[in-house]
Amino acid sequence: MSYNLLKGKKGIIFGALDEKSIAWITALRCFEEGAQIVLTNAPVALRMGEINKLAETTNSIVIPCDVTSSADVENLISKSIEHFGGQFDFILHSIGMSLNVRKGKSYTEIDYGFNAKTLDISAVSLHRVLATAMKMDALKEWGSVVALTYIAAQRVFPDYNEMADAKALLESIARSFGYHYGIKNKVRVNTVSQSPTRTTAGSGVKGFDGFIDYAEKMSPLGNASAEDCANYIVTLFSDLTKMVTLQNLFHDGGFSSMGVTQGVIEKMG
Ligand SMILES: NC(=O)c1ccc[n+]([C@@H]2O[C@H](COP(=O)([O-])OP(=O)(O)OC[C@H]3O[C@@H](n4cnc5c(N)ncnc54)[C@H](O)[C@@H]3O)[C@@H](O)[C@H]2O)c1
């Protein structure tokens, strides 16, 4: 069902890898709500070719961008301005990658070279995207930027490994840059802290099945799906949430406020 919440709005969506990706489902919802979209992902991810199906469905163009490359980000933003015929309204940062998790390194024995790359891809990239957008005056007044995060930024989830540090940095950049962008051009910047969700990035976390079941039992509403997350992001891109900025918004069925639930107690007994 469409409410035309994004009628006339234009934006860039990072991170649609396949149809399970939160970014993929968000792109579909933004399109349904009337938005015009530019899709982007790292060249290596684009080689899979999956994104072309999404581009066709949503009538979008695809511009490659490795988010660790300033030249790629500049090219993406300038081509998007050209495509949209001027400034645009929103950006979704839906990017995460841990090299140490990939290489099977435990948190206490991480490789610092991999760690620097993880932080660059998963967190500093938000700064790079915002700084480039600001320099090129790409976003309209009251524009909205959303980045996806996880509660391991605040609480310990041992197998989330170095991504916990990356998410803490991402959330801090959202607040710090959000201040400057708010003052300069009334652009708002928020992070959405999503329930564990079965996607390529999600399933990379060790013991993910146990993890997702536990969160389901600990949340009064159960885990929020990728579709629920997409709906929430649509509201954050819409004019209905104009005064929301510098926030880390939990979208997790209530998980973040819980100590324990009856379901978990019974399981332990
Ligand atoms: N799945 C979960 O359980 C969960 C929970 C909370 C938050 N998140 C966050 O949601 C976001 C989206 O992840 P997802 O679960 O949809 O998984 P996903 O694997 O579908 O998406 C991750 C994306 O990051 C992209 N990416 C990696 N390196 C890149 C680079 N150098 N340049 C540009 N793009 C790059 C990948 O190509 C991929 O499209 C991530 O930030 C993730 O941490 C996921």
199-243 pLDDT, tens digit each: 988 888 888 888 899 999 999 999 999 999 999 999 999 999 999
Whole domain around residue 163: which residue ranges? 10-253
Evaluate if residue 162 carries a pLDDT over 90: yes
* Cα gap 173→178, rounded to integer Å: 8
Ligand 1 centroid to residue 97 C-alpha, Å: 7
Burial of 1 (0-12, 13-18, 19+ CB in 10 A): exposed
* Residue identifier of the C-alpha nearest atom 11 of ligand 1: 94
pLDDT confidence of residue 211: 85
Evaluate if residue 269 carries a pLDDT over 90: no
- The answer to whether position 265 is within a domain reads no
Q: 153 CB under 6 A from ligand 1?
A: no
* Cα gap 147→197, rounded to integer Å: 16
For 269, other C-beta atoms within 10 Å of its C-beta total: 5
Closest atom of ligand 1 relative to the 150 alpha carbon: 6
| Count of the separate structural domains present in the chain | 1
- HSE of 92, CA atoms in CB hemisphere, 13 A: 34
- As a whole number, mean pLDDT of residues 13-32 equals 98
The pLDDT tens digits of the residues spanning 97-151 come to: 999 999 999 999 999 999 999 999 999 999 999 999 999 999 999 999 999 999 9
- The answer to whether position 4 is within a domain reads no
- The answer to whether position 29 is within a domain reads yes
**Residue predicted with more confidence, 209 or 251:** 251
pLDDT confidence of residue 267: 87
**What's the whole-model pTM score?**
0.98
pLDDT confidence of residue 17: 96
- The answer to whether position 24 is within a domain reads yes
- The answer to whether position 268 is within a domain reads no
- The answer to whether position 259 is within a domain reads no
* Distance from the Cα of residue 235 to its chain's centroid: 15
Closest atom of ligand 1 relative to the 18 alpha carbon: 20
- The answer to whether position 2 is within a domain reads no
CATH code for position 51: 3.40.50.720
- The answer to whether position 269 is within a domain reads no
**Residue 193 in tokens:** 């802290």
Q: 30 CB under 6 A from ligand 1?
A: no
Q: Which pLDDT band, with edges at 50, 70 and 90, does 24 fall under?
A: very high
